[in-house]
Structure 1
Amino acid sequence: MQKRNYYIEIEDFLSDESFRTWILSKVDEQGWEEWTLENQQRAKLVEDARLLLLAMKVPYTIISSSALNTALQSTWIKIEEIENRNKSTKSNAGRYLKKYWLTGVAATLFFAFLSVWFFKNQFQTNNTAVTYKELVNDNNEGLVEQTNNSDKPQVITLSDGSSVLLEPKSKLSYPKIFIGNKRKVYLSGEGFFEITKDSQKPFFVYANEIITKVVGTSFRVKAYSDQPNIEVLVRTGKVRVSSNELAANSKRMIEVVLLPNEALRFLRSDLSFNKITNITEDKMLAASVGNIEQLSFEFTDIPVDQIFKTIEQAYLVDIDFPKDKLKKCHLTTSLSDQPLSEKLRIICKSIGNDTSFEMNGNQIVITSQGCY
């Protein structure tokens, strides 16, 4: 069940980054509008949270603890002055009700000050969060957007032959054809990338506040808008990760180089990089490693049907092939550094006899007359 189904207080919504993104940036990646309309009482609570969040939308400045205390003390002094002026004219019962009401006002003001302070210190520190929408709008190449609304990863093949295994609740924007001397895509969520080598045209993945640059390799990027960290995990090749120049602290830009089985955790709150040289020692990273990173694509005299099964397990695709015609086919090949489409091309070329493949989403059809 979604965590937000248990929200019963306004502060529950204010502490949820996806809710703030929806209200302030009108980016509804988590389906807030549909969720809100499911319940009338829920809609009222969401509306109250929205109004308070909009009221808190002031210029991004840090509120110090001392400033917060000063503001609260000033509020209490004003409340006491009002209460003292009413003491001589109100009955005991009236004073009690007034004090009860004023206490509620004080609590509300205290929460407002505290919410502003927490919001700015935890989510609007020294940097401005870079959103997927900003990144896409900053590009003028005419992008295609692919959204995975299913419950399993989807394979996307790019014009250069590179492949992306896009996880559920994730988006990828990319040009139909890469032009110029750079290949640039934009990610919101999580994806596993296998990039076709081209030293003359490096590949860039823009994800929130970081940019991942490669020439040809395989790696995973995890960059959800409602999570405080971004993670990059390298399977093969070399990856360079740096902060996006759109981030406010771009003067502190650092480039981190990652090699196979190394990872990086980027803290969005302060734009800091944490390089991890041993993935197995990090429980969160170790748990996020998928089949595609664990399975070997080195084959020595292996039956073709087993190779297809390995590919199905890694990419969660379905491969339809003529089993009778290929049951005696064995291959020896290395496919570790190849995108999915290139893997299939190499296999078909090795089999021969006009063997070919067609891809339609997560469905792959192999046609063949058998081995040489």
Structure 2
Amino acid sequence: MDPSKYHLSDFLEDDSFRKWALEVPSAEYDQWQKHFAASPGMQKNMLEARQLIRDLKDAQAIPADKELEEKIWRSVQPRKARISILTVFKVAASVTILAGLFGYYWYTKSPFGPNVSLLAVEIVQSNDSQQTRTVALEDGTQVQLSPGSSIHYGETFNRSDRRVVLEGEAFFDVARNPEKPFLVIANGLVTRVLGTSFTVSSNEREVSVSVKTGRVEVISQENYERLKDADKRQSATMVLKPNQMAVFSKKEASLTRALVAEPLIVNPSARPATLSFDNTPATEVFDRLADAYNIEIIYDPDTFSQCRLTVSLEDDQLFEKLDVICRTFNAEYRLSDAKILIEGKGCKF
């Protein structure tokens, strides 16, 4: 294509131009110098594209995300009304050099690390529909993208690592690979797994991770980057099991653990009949529930030593079961750090 007909996005997609912008020696370097000197009509777009590439190259030195965005927009659109930076990514559909360049900033500020080349293409998978969209990744992982959500990953995905950036919400069914942990980076939180299924949901205020199967590790992005020592990083990592979730508050930089809204039976040996009780002692009732849902239930055996239960709870949700049990046992339950605490006066005859 004739460079005199280039738009801004064309310059950004041209490998030889990017090298010229970064003053990297190449066979075409002198030719771009001549274009710049001899074509005043091209200079504006060339200068804007060069400034954008250099700004993103120097992104690590900029202290805040907002400052980076403002600087880019001042250089790229000095006289135009400000629009969402996501609009820029639509220049060349879902896979663009612009997305790759902006992705470089996120990579260098996240666990993608500084080894990702500025010139690496970033792949963007988006869901602009009103239904869930399933995306199949190269490693066999299935991602169910919620409406309005997107994932970003490098073209080298599954070669050296498995890392994605999530905007919005998605359910991940990760193909197991102990040699290459799967990382999801979402708004300040890093989720690390080997092979499992879980949901990540992020917005401007917080990020939540809910586990369906397997084991999931979560850590703030700041700690992931700051703590290079494996033991120190491990101490700052929260491990989640099925039916557990973590909530990361970006404002307070806090990470808390809780139970998911509707826990599911995860023990394959826990048949529905196991949750049908016939004059069953309280200790057995609590133990059956704990085993079926893989949730720790804490109670005082002495307090509930005289309590027995006769009822079928096969079709009820966990918290509905607990409501019935607690009314029968003259007790109440509360949740703390993904555990269920049973407190009350117990049964007296």
Give the TM-score taking structure 1 as reference length: 0.39
Structure scoring higher RCO (CA < 8 A, sep ≥ 6) equals 1
Structure with bigger helix share is 1
Give the TM-score taking structure 2 as reference length: 0.41
